[in-house]
Amino acid sequence: DIQMTQSPSSLSASVGDRVTITCHATQDISVNLNWYHHKPGTAPKLLIYDASNLQTGVPSRFSGSGSGTDFSFTIANLQPEDVGTYYCQQYDILPPYTFGQGTKVEI
Amino acid sequence: EVRLAESGGGLVQPGESLRLSCAASGITVINNYVHWVRQAPGKGLEWVAVVYTAGSTYYTDSVKGRFSVSRDSSKNTVSLHMDNMRVEDTGLYYCARGQGGLYDWGQGTLVTVSS
């Protein structure tokens, strides 16, 4: 099975900062990678699909890049509502569609 | 508007069974990939299972042989049948739909496995 290694596990930044999270897959997954935002008590929210495509309605300060085994996710101009945990998830040809361990973002 | 609503969570003892349901509105479940994702207390998201539009099902290794997913087209629901449950199955269980990204989610139902 494909494993996803996400880093850092947590970070603290200031409003307006640029924040980057990385995700590494144990084998080539092309661009079959998503990024989610999750706050306690709410459902996870899809932000980026296919590595770099912004989900409808998601602010443009969120972006993703990468292909193959290495991916990155960036929040430009961090806002207070961006606190929470971010996860990458791969969806290669067959399941399991594993998540990364998560990155907790604090302000 | 698409809505997914999980139900059926509760407290069970190790070895017991439980069935979760995911009721959908605004979509037809048999025309969608429907996933189950869980979050154990203090842990991250874990993908559990999926049912494809063709009816194929897949599971994460830790639940293979114990969990099964089924669909009821008349009720427009997807169920997660959990047998021989373990303490480590405790968590908040979400259903979600999507073929690549999971773009619609329910609010989750809490499952506790404890003696």
The pLDDT, as a whole number, for residue A35 is 98
What is the percent of chain A where pLDDT is above 70?
100
> Does the beta-carbon distance from B50 to A95 stay under 8 Å?
yes
Distance between CA B106 and CA A96 in Å, rounded? 20
> In this complex, which of A49, A55, A96 lies closest to B60 when CB atoms are compared?
A96
Distance between CA A85 and CA A10 in Å, rounded? 8
Cβ neighbours of residue A87 under 8 Å, at least 6 residues apart? A6, A35, A36, A38, A44, A99, A100, A102, A103, B44, B45
Exposure b/e, A34-57, CB count within 10 A at least 16 = b: bbbbbeeeebbbbbbbebbbebee
Distance between CA B25 and CA A43 in Å, rounded? 17
- Within a 10 A sphere around the Cβ of B11, how many other Cβ atoms? 12
Helix (H, G, I), strand (E, B) or coil at A29: coil
Name residue B41's amino acid: P
Distance between CA A12 and CA A54 in Å, rounded? 24
Going by pLDDT thresholds of 50, 70 and 90, the confidence category of residue A95 is confident
For chain B (115 residues), the mean pLDDT of every run of 10, in chain order, is 96 98 96 97 96 95 97 96 98 95 96 97
> Does the beta-carbon distance from A91 to B100 stay under 8 Å?
yes
The pLDDT, as a whole number, for residue B100 is 85
Mind listing the pLDDT tens digit for each residue in B63-85?
999 999 999 999 999 999 999 99
The pLDDT, as a whole number, for residue B35 is 98
* Terminal-to-terminal C-alpha distance of chain B: 40
The pLDDT, as a whole number, for residue A87 is 98
Of all residues in chain B, what percent are helix, strand and coil, respectively (each to 5)? 10, 50, 40
User: Cα angle at A91 between A89 and A93, to 5 degrees?
Assistant: 160
The pLDDT, as a whole number, for residue B48 is 97
Mind listing the pLDDT tens digit for each residue in A18-58?
999 999 999 999 999 999 999 998 999 999 999 999 999 99
> In this complex, which of B35, B98, B105 lies closest to A43 when CB atoms are compared?
B105
> Does the beta-carbon distance from B101 to A99 stay under 8 Å?
no
The pLDDT, as a whole number, for residue A92 is 84
> Which residues numbered 75-114 in B keep a CB inside 8 Å of some CB on A?
94, 96, 98, 100-103, 105-108
Q: What is the DSSP letter of A54?
A: E
